[in-house]
């Protein structure tokens, strides 16, 4: 037969006139090489933990301007056409641009250099300007220089020129005058602006988990979202803020931020201090997490509201709900009715460890989010979407 499978063409005559088994084949699974897939290395949970970077130190340098051209026009029957060196192009700027798709400063590099302008050419040709370098930063980024706020990028698409590019040099055509008909002078391009900026991100999450260390905020965030903050069976506090996204069936997404645990005197910069109090400032509503297993849990809520009020007046009065965590413990069931007697607002008792009553929190979280959206739309503003 003129047609044969590909793997039969690799068969040769055997020692007894028969057929040998093929040495290599790409179409026969039985004859193909056995290539084992290497197993992926097991990575510890600590290395898998992702948290957003909320501060960066960036050095930005604008592009240098192109030098001016130096040439004289000359062609047959026109040997002394005069100077025709064009100006150099301007250097490119370094621009910070707020983008709602960016959620962290982790992708921001420590150094950015603008593109240089091209040198001026002959025949009065100007050099091309250097392209602008855009650095995408999250919405809610503060730009500081020497401790002073120089920009606050709060809207999507908002831009701030971090470093201006240098001006292009002048060609010898620029210096043509009646006194000097053949100037040889031309200037180089100016260097770009150089600055050292500090970028700080104020969390633009919808909800903020506020509570003292070991109240169970990280465990709660793991239970209701896809975030993976580190948790353990021994007391410790989260040192880096985490953001988790709660997804609903109608494709709405509510961002919940796990603010590192506060302590008494945080407004005086004790403990983690005001470095993380600023994340609470831009949360639209708050979720106070108290440990029901401790005696007099309502004291925790009073202390939390006091710290927020001392940091910024009116911050503790934002829309909020009180979450009584660790309801799976026997002491928590005893303290729950006592807490409800001391608090006028709503108290949601749940267990982040066992998942008890998480549905009530998710439903109320969506109610707070819908109220926020309607309020922003009534003001003519666009609500923050994740």
For the segment 18-66, what is each residue's pLDDT rounded down to a tens digit? 555 444 444 444 544 444 444 445 444 444 444 457 788 999 999 999 9
Q: Is residue 297 one of the residues assigned to a domain?
A: yes
Residue of 362 and 244 predicted with greater confidence = 362
pLDDT of residue 129: 94
Q: In the chain, how many domains are there?
A: 2
pLDDT of residue 203: 64
Q: Is residue 25 one of the residues assigned to a domain?
A: no
Please, are residues 145 and 198 in contact by the beta-carbon 8 Å criterion?
yes
> Looking at the predicted structure, is the pLDDT value of residue 89 above 90?
yes
Q: Do 248 and 324 have their domain in common?
A: yes
Lowest mean pLDDT among 49-58, 248-257, 362-371: 49-58
How many other C-beta atoms can be found within 10 angstroms of the C-beta atom of residue 254?
Answer: 24
pLDDT of residue 122: 86
Q: Do 286 and 145 have their domain in common?
A: no
3-7, 111-115, 200-204, 258-262, range with greatest mean pLDDT: 111-115
Please, are residues 267 and 304 in contact by the beta-carbon 8 Å criterion?
no
Please, are residues 65 and 91 in contact by the beta-carbon 8 Å criterion?
yes
Which of 154, 176, 202 terminates a domain? The answer is 202
Domain residue limits at 63 = 51-202
> Looking at the predicted structure, is the pLDDT value of residue 292 above 50?
yes
Q: What is the CATH number of the domain that holds 163?
A: 2.70.210.12
pLDDT of residue 3: 43
Tell me what the mean pLDDT of segment 296-319 comes to. Answer: 84
Q: Do 63 and 182 have their domain in common?
A: yes
Q: Is residue 384 one of the residues assigned to a domain?
A: no
Relative to beta strand 194-201, strand 285-291 is unpaired
Which of 177, 202, 227 terminates a domain? The answer is 202
Strand partners, 290: 324
Which of 202, 228, 257 terminates a domain? The answer is 202
Tell me what the mean pLDDT of segment 163-188 comes to. Answer: 89
> Looking at the predicted structure, is the pLDDT value of residue 181 above 90?
no
Tokens at residue 30, please? 């039985």
Confidence band for 123, pLDDT divided at 50, 70 and 90: confident
Q: How far apart are CA 205 and CA 368, in angstroms?
A: 13
Q: Is residue 22 one of the residues assigned to a domain?
A: no
Confidence band for 366, pLDDT divided at 50, 70 and 90: very high
Q: How far apart are CA 63 and CA 90, in angstroms?
A: 8
> Looking at the predicted structure, is the pLDDT value of residue 234 above 60?
no
Q: Do 258 and 356 have their domain in common?
A: yes
Using alpha carbons, list the distances in angstroms from residue 53 to 174, 242, 275. Answer: 49, 9, 12
Q: Is residue 178 one of the residues assigned to a domain?
A: yes
Q: Do 359 and 244 have their domain in common?
A: yes
Please, are residues 173 and 251 in contact by the beta-carbon 8 Å criterion?
no
Q: Do 228 and 159 have their domain in common?
A: no
How many other C-beta atoms can be found within 10 angstroms of the C-beta atom of residue 192?
Answer: 28
Strand partners, 141: 153, 201
Tell me what the mean pLDDT of segment 6-14 comes to. Answer: 45
Task: Provide the percentage of residues in the chain whose pLDDT is more than 70.
Answer: 76
Please, are residues 293 and 328 in contact by the beta-carbon 8 Å criterion?
no
Q: Do 309 and 184 have their domain in common?
A: no
Q: Do 150 and 241 have their domain in common?
A: no
Q: What is the CATH number of the domain that holds 340?
A: 3.40.50.300
Q: Is residue 38 one of the residues assigned to a domain?
A: no
Q: Do 173 and 269 have their domain in common?
A: no
Residue of 27 and 197 predicted with greater confidence = 197
pLDDT of residue 18: 52
Q: Do 152 and 99 have their domain in common?
A: yes
pTM greater than 0.75 (yes/no)? no
Q: Do 218 and 324 have their domain in common?
A: yes
pLDDT of residue 245: 85
Q: Do 141 and 260 have their domain in common?
A: no
């Amino acid at each position: 037969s003129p047609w044969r499978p590909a793997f039969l063409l690799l068969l040769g005559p055997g020692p007894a006139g028969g057929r040998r088994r093929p040495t290599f084949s790409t179409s026969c699974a039985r004859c193909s090489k056995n290539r084992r897939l290497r197993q992926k290395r097991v990575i510890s949970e600590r290395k898998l933990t992702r948290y957003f970077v909320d501060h960066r130190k960036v050095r930005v340098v604008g592009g240098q301007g192109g030098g001016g051209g130096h040439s004289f026009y000359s062609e047959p029957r026109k040997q002394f056409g005069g100077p025709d060196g064009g100006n150099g192009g301007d250097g490119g700027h370094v621009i910070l641009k707020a983008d709602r798709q960016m959620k962290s400063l982790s992708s921001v590099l420590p150094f950015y250099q603008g593109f240089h302008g091209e040198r001026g050419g002959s025949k009065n040709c100007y050099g091309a300007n250097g392209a602008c370098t855009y650095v995408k930063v999250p919405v809610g980024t503060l730009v500081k220089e020497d401790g002073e706020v120089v920009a606050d990028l709060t809207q999507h698409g908002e831009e701030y020129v971090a470093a201006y590019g240098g001006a292009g040099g002048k060609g010898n055509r620029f210096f043509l005058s009646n006194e000097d008909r053949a100037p040889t002078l031309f200037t180089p391009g100016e260097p770009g602006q150089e600055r050292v900026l500090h970028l700080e991100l104020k969390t633009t999450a919808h909800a903020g988990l506020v509570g003292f260390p070991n109240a169970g905020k990280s465990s709660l965030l793991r239970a209701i979202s896809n975030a993976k903050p580190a948790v353990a069976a021994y007391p410790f506090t989260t040192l880096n803020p985490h953001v988790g996204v709660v997804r609903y069936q109608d494709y709405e997404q509510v961002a919940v931020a796990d603010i590192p645990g506060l302590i008494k005197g945080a407004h005086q910069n004790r403990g983690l201090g005001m470095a993380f109090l600023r994340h609470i400032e831009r949360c639209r509503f708050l979720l106070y997490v108290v440990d029901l297993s401790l005696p007099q849990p309502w004291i925790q809520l009073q202390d939390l509201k006091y710290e927020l009020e001392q940091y910024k007046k009116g911050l503790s009065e934002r829309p909020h709900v009180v979450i009584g965590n660790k309801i799976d413990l026997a002491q928590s069931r005893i303290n729950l009715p006592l807490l409800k007697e001391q608090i006028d607002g709503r108290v949601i008792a749940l267990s982040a460890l066992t998942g008890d009553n998480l549905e009530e929190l998710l439903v109320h979280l969506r109610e707070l989010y819908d109220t926020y959206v309607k309020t922003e739309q009534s003001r003519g503003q666009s609500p923050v979407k994740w």
